[in-house]
Structure 1
Amino acid sequence: MKGAFSQQIKYTNGNDSWNPDSLGNHRAVLQVSNAGKVAKATIDWRRRDTKPELKAIWVVDARTNKIIKNTNATDVNREQGTVYFEPTSGPGTYYVYYMPYQVEGRSNYPNAQYVKNQPNTQWSGATQNAVPALVKEIQSINAMNSFYPMEVIATAKETQTLISQHPQKDYLVFTEDRINPIKMTDDLPQRWIAKGLTNSFSGTASKGENYAFQLGIYAAKKDLNDVRVSFSSLKNKAGNSIPSSVLSCLNTDGTNWDGSKLHKVVDVPKLKVQALWILANLPATAAAGTYSGTATVTTKGTASNTIKINLTVSNTLAKEGGINEPWKQTRLTWLNSTLAQKNEVIAPYIPLVVTDKTIALLGRKVTVNKDGLPAQIQTFFTPEMTGISSTPKNILTEPIHFHVIKSNNKDLVWKNEGVVFTETKPGIVKWATKNISDSLDMDINASLESDGFMSYTVRFLAKNDIKLNDIRLHMPIQPAAAKYLMGLGQKGGTRPDSLNWKWEVATKNQDGAWIGDVNAGIQYSLRDQHYIRPLNTNFYLQKPLLLPTSWGNEGKGGIQIFKKGAAVLADNYSGEHFMKKGDTLYYNFTLLITPFHPINTDFQWSNRFYHKYNKLDTIKATGATLINIHHATPINPVINYPFIAHKEMKSYIDEAHSKGLKVKIYNTVRELSNSAYETFPLRSLGHEIYSTGKGGGYSWLQEHVGTDYIAAWYVPEIKDAAIVNSGMSRWHNYYVEGMNWLVKHVGIDGIYLDDVAFDRTTMKRIKTVLTQNGHPGIIDLHSANQYNKSDGFNNSANLYMEHFPYLNRLWFGEYFDYEKSGPDFFMTEVSGIPFGLMGEMLQDGGNAWRGMIYGMTNRMPWSDGADPRPIWKEWDKFGMQGSKMIGYWVENNPVKTGNPEVLATIYKKEKSTLVALASWAKEDVKIKLNIDWKALGIDPAKATITAPDIKNFQPAQVFNANDDITVAPRKGWMIVIKEN
Structure 2
Amino acid sequence: MNKYFYLSVFLLVCQLSIAQQIKYTTKNNDWDADSLGNHRVVLTLQKANTHLAKAIINWRRNDHHPETKQLFIVDSASGKRVMNVSVTGINRESCVLYFEPDAGNKKYFVYYLPYKVDRKSNYPNVKYMKAQPTAADNWLTTIPNSSDIEGATVESIESVNAMNSFYPMEVIATETEVNNLISQNSGRTYLVFPEDRQFVIKMKHDLPQRWITTGVRNVFNGEAKRGENYTYQLGIYPTAKDLNGVKIIFSDLKNKSGQVISSKVMSCINNGGTDYRGNSFTKEVDIAKGDVQAMWCLVNIPATAVAGTYEGTVTISPKNAENTKIGIRIKVEKATAVKGGINEPQRETRLAWLNSTLAQQNDVIKPYIPLVVKNNTIALLGRKVILDKTGFPKSIQTYFTPEMTSFSSIAKEVIAAPIKLVAENNVGAEKWQSKGVKFTETRAGTVKWDAVNTAANLQMDVSGTIEFDGFASYMVKVTALHDVDLKDIRMEIPFNKEASKYMMGLNLKGEKRPDSYEWKWDVPHKNQDGAWIGDVNAGLQYSLRDENYVRPLNTNFYLQKPLLLPTSWGNDNKGGIRINEKDNHVLVSNYSGARTMKKGDVLYYNFTLLITPFHPINTDFQWATRFYHKYSALDSIKQTGATVVNIHHGTPINPYINYPFIRWRQMKSYIDSAHQLGLKVKIYNTVRELSNSAYETFPMRSLGHEIYSPGKGGGYSWLQEHVADDYIAAWYVPEYKDAALINSGMSRWHNYYVEGMNWLVQNVGIDGIYLDDVAFDRITMKRIKRVLTKDGHPGIIDLHSANQYNKSDGFNNSGNLYLEHFPYLNRLWFGEYFDYEKNSPDFFLTEVSGIPFGLMGEMLQGGGNPWRGMIYGMTNRMPWSDNADPRPIWKVWDDFGMQGTKMIGYWVEKNPVKTNNPEVLATIYKKERSALVSIASWAKDDTTIKLQINWKALGIDPAKATITAPAVNNFQQSASFKDGDEIKVEKGKGWLLVLKEEK
- TM-score, length of structure 2 as denominator length: 0.97
Query: What SS is found at the alignment partner of 1:849?
Result: helix
Report matched runs for 1:870-881 at 5 Å.
870-881=888-899
Aligned counterpart, 1:338 = 357
Check the 8 A contact 2:767/2:796 in 1, yes or no. yes
Query: What SS is found at the alignment partner of 2:988?
Result: coil
Aligned counterpart, 2:79 = 65
Which whole-Å CA distance do the structure 2 matches of 1:158 and 1:321 have between them? 39
Check the 8 A contact 2:77/2:105 in 1, yes or no. no
- Among 150, 159, 164, the alignment partner of 2:169 is 150
- Among 143, 147, 155, the alignment partner of 1:127 is 143
Which whole-Å CA distance do the structure 1 matches of 2:103 and 2:236 have between them? 49
Deviation at 1:528, TM superposition (A): 2.0
Asked whether 1:573 is paired with 2:587, we answer no
Check the 8 A contact 2:85/2:135 in 1, yes or no. no
Aligned counterpart, 1:12 = 25
Deviation at 1:15, TM superposition (A): 1.4
Query: What SS is found at the alignment partner of 1:105?
Result: coil
Deviates more, 1:283-292 or 1:6-15: 6-15
Which whole-Å CA distance do the structure 2 matches of 1:397 and 1:257 have between them? 37
Deviation at 1:590, TM superposition (A): 0.2
- Among 391, 394, 399, the alignment partner of 2:413 is 394
CA displacement 1:167-199 (0-9 Å, x = unmatched): 111000001110111000100000000000111
Asked whether 1:174 is paired with 2:193, we answer yes
Aligned counterpart, 1:36 = 50
Which whole-Å CA distance do the structure 2 matches of 1:574 and 1:962 have between them? 57
- Among 194, 199, 204, the alignment partner of 1:185 is 204
Asked whether 1:317 is paired with 2:332, we answer no
Aligned counterpart, 2:239 = 220
Aligned counterpart, 1:898 = 916
Aligned counterpart, 1:243 = 262
- Among 938, 944, 964, the alignment partner of 2:962 is 944
For residue 422 of structure 2, what is the amino acid of its counterpart? H
Check the 8 A contact 1:5/1:193 in 2, yes or no. no
Aligned counterpart, 2:846 = 828
Aligned counterpart, 2:464 = 446
Asked whether 1:256 is paired with 2:275, we answer yes
Aligned counterpart, 2:933 = 915
Check the 8 A contact 1:755/1:784 in 2, yes or no. yes
Which whole-Å CA distance do the structure 1 matches of 2:955 and 2:369 have between them? 34
Aligned counterpart, 2:946 = 928
> 1:163/1:299 Cα in 2 relative to 1: closer, same or farther (>3 Å)?
same
Aligned counterpart, 2:859 = 841
Aligned counterpart, 1:621 = 639
- Among 718, 722, 736, the alignment partner of 1:700 is 718
CA displacement 1:796-852 (0-9 Å, x = unmatched): 000000000000000002111111111000001100000000000000100000000
Query: What SS is found at the alignment partner of 2:976?
Result: strand
Which whole-Å CA distance do the structure 2 matches of 1:407 and 1:24 have between them? 70
Deviates more, 1:4-13 or 1:184-193: 4-13
Report matched runs for 1:79-98 at 5 Å.
79-98=93-112
Aligned counterpart, 1:505 = 523
Which whole-Å CA distance do the structure 2 matches of 1:478 and 1:416 have between them? 25
Which whole-Å CA distance do the structure 2 matches of 1:576 and 1:962 have between them? 62
Query: What SS is found at the alignment partner of 1:75?
Result: strand
Report matched runs for 1:729-878 at 5 Å.
729-878=747-896
Aligned counterpart, 1:113 = 127
Deviation at 1:437, TM superposition (A): 1.3
CA displacement 1:936-975 (0-9 Å, x = unmatched): 1111111111000111100000111121111111000000
For residue 239 of structure 2, what is the amino acid of its counterpart? A
Check the 8 A contact 1:61/1:89 in 2, yes or no. no
Deviation at 1:345, TM superposition (A): 0.4
Asked whether 1:294 is paired with 2:308, we answer no
Check the 8 A contact 1:5/1:194 in 2, yes or no. no
Query: What SS is found at the alignment partner of 1:743?
Result: helix
Query: What SS is found at the alignment partner of 1:109?
Result: coil
Aligned residues: 976
Deviation at 1:863, TM superposition (A): 1.2
Aligned counterpart, 1:229 = 248
For residue 27 of structure 1, what is the amino acid of its counterpart? R
Deviation at 1:8, TM superposition (A): 1.2
For residue 684 of structure 1, what is the amino acid of its counterpart? S
Query: What SS is found at the alignment partner of 1:691?
Result: coil
Check the 8 A contact 2:802/2:832 in 1, yes or no. yes
Deviation at 1:121, TM superposition (A): 5.9
Report matched runs for 1:708-747 at 5 Å.
708-747=726-765
Query: What SS is found at the alignment partner of 2:952?
Result: helix
Which whole-Å CA distance do the structure 2 matches of 1:720 and 1:258 have between them? 30
Check the 8 A contact 1:55/1:115 in 2, yes or no. yes
Deviation at 1:520, TM superposition (A): 0.3
Asked whether 1:968 is paired with 2:982, we answer no
Check the 8 A contact 1:528/1:546 in 2, yes or no. no
Deviates more, 1:101-110 or 1:732-741: 101-110
- Among 488, 492, 501, the alignment partner of 1:474 is 492
Deviation at 1:106, TM superposition (A): 4.7
Which whole-Å CA distance do the structure 1 matches of 2:24 and 2:94 have between them? 15
Deviation at 1:579, TM superposition (A): 1.1
Aligned counterpart, 1:406 = 425
Which whole-Å CA distance do the structure 1 matches of 2:672 and 2:657 have between them? 22
Which whole-Å CA distance do the structure 2 matches of 1:538 and 1:91 have between them? 51
Aligned counterpart, 1:46 = 60
Asked whether 1:347 is paired with 2:347, we answer no
RMSD over aligned CA atoms reads: 1.0
Query: What SS is found at the alignment partner of 1:467?
Result: strand
Aligned counterpart, 1:632 = 650
Deviation at 1:7, TM superposition (A): 6.0
Which whole-Å CA distance do the structure 2 matches of 1:923 and 1:237 have between them? 90
Check the 8 A contact 2:18/2:58 in 1, yes or no. no
Which whole-Å CA distance do the structure 1 matches of 2:215 and 2:734 have between them? 41
Aligned counterpart, 1:27 = 40
For residue 18 of structure 1, what is the amino acid of its counterpart? W
Deviation at 1:33, TM superposition (A): 1.5
Deviation at 1:865, TM superposition (A): 1.1
Deviation at 1:475, TM superposition (A): 0.3
Which whole-Å CA distance do the structure 1 matches of 2:218 and 2:275 have between them? 31
Deviation at 1:30, TM superposition (A): 0.2
Which whole-Å CA distance do the structure 2 matches of 1:634 and 1:24 have between them? 25
Check the 8 A contact 1:422/1:430 in 2, yes or no. yes
Check the 8 A contact 1:674/1:723 in 2, yes or no. yes
Which whole-Å CA distance do the structure 1 matches of 2:19 and 2:631 have between them? 49
Deviation at 1:925, TM superposition (A): 1.3
- Among 414, 437, 461, the alignment partner of 1:419 is 437
Aligned counterpart, 1:458 = 476
Which whole-Å CA distance do the structure 2 matches of 1:654 and 1:36 have between them? 62
CA displacement 1:562-620 (0-9 Å, x = unmatched): 11343111110001121111110000000000000000000000000000000000000
Deviation at 1:331, TM superposition (A): 0.2
Which whole-Å CA distance do the structure 1 matches of 2:785 and 2:507 have between them? 31
> 1:121/1:93 Cα in 2 relative to 1: closer, same or farther (>3 Å)?
closer
Check the 8 A contact 1:377/1:394 in 2, yes or no. yes
Query: What SS is found at the alignment partner of 1:162?
Result: helix
Check the 8 A contact 2:50/2:103 in 1, yes or no. no
Query: What SS is found at the alignment partner of 1:735?
Result: helix
Check the 8 A contact 1:73/1:119 in 2, yes or no. no
